[in-house]
Amino acid sequence: MDKLVLVVVAGVTFLIIIALLFSFLLSDLTFSGQIAVIPIKGEIVSSQGSFSFAMTSTNIAEKIKQADSDPLVSAIFLDIDSSGGSVVATKEVVYAVRKAEKPVVAYIGEIGASGGYYIAAASDLIIADEDSLTGSIGVISMSTNIEGLMEKLGVKVKVMKDGEFKDMGSMFRELTIEEEALLQELISEASEKFKLDILEFREDKLSESEFNEVADGRIFSGRKALEYNLIDFTGSRDFAIDKTAELAGIEGEPVLVDYGVVETDLFTALSQMGYSFGTGFISAIKSSNDEFSLQAK
């Protein structure tokens, strides 16, 4: 009786091992050579706006890390259509791209400018449609002054502060010369980091003298960007996919896996909308007095 039990156990164990091996081989044959497609669309921000379900910079960075650690994924494809966004949010994605051990290819469709180009430059290969818009290398910050309008309406604003520059950037008055100098220093510092990173990322493809000629905020077509060595190839999205497969050593037709879906339930979605609306409203009020943001766009 004991021998029968041992035989049965041994038989079941053998079948389980065979099934696991077969499953592994089947998955390897069927799904090896995957390319993770990660969309970077619209403004690059750290948090979602009200009623927006676009991926944030944190979502994108996490997707890059997830794809890089997936044994079935051979390469990462960044599908870019963005004119940039927050400097900090953009850098979060740039850092994730630089840390990836698998090949990363950036494809610029309609537009990949400023922060969008910054992310593309961090990848191993940049491919853009010849009629796309790219470049716009630099940092910008803008403020609104409605002082004249308020005077016409007979509205006065009383500001109480502790600190000479606490209301710097208020929409209710002009910037002073000292404030302009402080803000320009912040903008120049962020822009310098932006430019130095691009030179480092593309050091074997772009000389400093070539780069300095075009790193003045201007925008280029894909054709011109190729002439200035800001990108590596012009071509269609299919061409870019083929180049990604080639770079990753994928033979045959690659399997494209959409990494652009952020899973959430209804309760979380409603909570996010409420939170985004509330924080956006508060931020709008505060920004009229003391907030500036640097934009890579």
Q: Which residues have a catalytic role annotated?
A: 114, 166
Question: What local confidence, expressed as pLDDT, does residue 4 receive?
Answer: 58
What's the fold here for domain 33-296?
2-enoyl-CoA Hydratase; Chain A, domain 1 (3.90.226)
| Lowest-pLDDT range of 30-44, 56-70, 207-221, 274-288 | 274-288
- pTM for the complete prediction? 0.75
> What is the tens place of the pLDDT at every residue in 185-232?
887 787 788 889 999 999 889 888 888 888 888 999 999 999 999 999
Residue 57 has what DSSP assignment? Answer: H
Domain ranges across the chain: 33-296
What's the sign of the alpha-carbon dihedral 63, 66, 68, 72? negative
Question: 134 - beta bridge partners?
Answer: 112, 220
- Mean pLDDT taken over the chain: 79
Angle in degrees, CA 212, 213, 214, rounded to 5 = 95
Cβ neighbours, 10 Å, residue 28: 12
Check residues 160 and 236 and name the one with the higher pLDDT.
236
Q: Which residues contact 114 (CB under 8 A, 6 or more apart)?
A: 83, 84, 136, 137, 138, 295, 296, 297
Question: What local confidence, expressed as pLDDT, does residue 48 receive?
Answer: 64
